[in-house]
Amino acid sequence: MLKSVASKIIAFIFIFGQLTNALHFYLNTGNTRCFFEELPEDTLVVGRIDAYENPNLDHLSPDDVFVHNPLLRVQITVDETFDNNHRVVNQKSSPNGEFTFTSLDSGEHKFCLTPVYDDGSRGKNHRIFFDVAIGSAHDYVDSKSTKKIDSLTLKIQSLNKKLQEIHWEQEHMREREAIFRDQSENTNSRVIKWTIVQLIVLVGTCIYQLRHLKSFFVKQKIV
């Protein structure tokens, strides 16, 4: 298992080649541990969770054995602290799971992990390995290699492409909204100007008609 985890970490480093944070910590069931990371804009983030349990909470020692439990889950949340803690990730991971997302804006992100159980169990201590790889998967090119790219890399590339398409569509929608807003403002401005012109013409016509009637009545010696 440790060899498998190590190989995955090495694969992440090789694929991303920019920045990798790896750590492990101990946490009781239901408690939350948070970490902060400054991320640039349009950055693909891949996180890996490897969680173990120790049912003996009363007496902890270095000799305690931590094991996997299929009922164990890790609640993962990622918030943009620079945008009123806007949540971009909220999911439950298996004891040996992953999560991915792309940062749409640059700034500080808060990663929080909480071990929970599907059956509501409590009172256990956990050892959690948490790795975060940060970079751009689609930049990875190895034209000289004849080996097949790992399926995880292909998934990351596909996900990153879809996220970029969504981001491009959002930007396109913002541009269309800006154009529509400008057109609406121009239309409203023209309507107001045309209304003012109509009022001026109407007032001028009334004044002209009054003067003409007054002149007519004078000539007819009515007034």
**pLDDT single digits (tens) 60-103:** 665 678 888 888 999 999 999 998 999 999 999 888 888 888 88
End-to-end CA distance of the chain: 113
Assess if residue 144 is contained within a domain: no
Assess if residue 83 is contained within a domain: yes
Assess if residue 145 is contained within a domain: no
CA distance 188 to 76: 48
Per the structure, the complete domain to which residue 11 belongs is given by: 2-135
pLDDT in tens, 121-151: 888 888 999 988 886 544 433 433 434 455 6
Assess if residue 187 is contained within a domain: no
Assess if residue 217 is contained within a domain: no
pLDDT of residue 113: 95
Assess if residue 52 is contained within a domain: yes
Q: What are the backbone angles phi and psi of residue 8, rounded to the nearest 5°?
A: -65, -45
Nearest CA-CA partner of 73 in 45, 101, 96, 47: 96
Instruction: Calculate what percentage of the chain has a pLDDT beyond 70.
Output: 76
Task: Evaluate if pTM is beyond 0.85.
Answer: no
* CB-count exposure of residue 15 (10 Å: 0-12, 13-18, 19+): buried
Assess if residue 117 is contained within a domain: yes
Assess if residue 35 is contained within a domain: yes
Helix or strand holding residue 150 (H, E)? none
Helix or strand holding residue 189 (H, E)? helix 151-219
Number of domains in the chain: 1
Q: What is the CATH number of the domain that holds 91?
A: 2.60.120.380
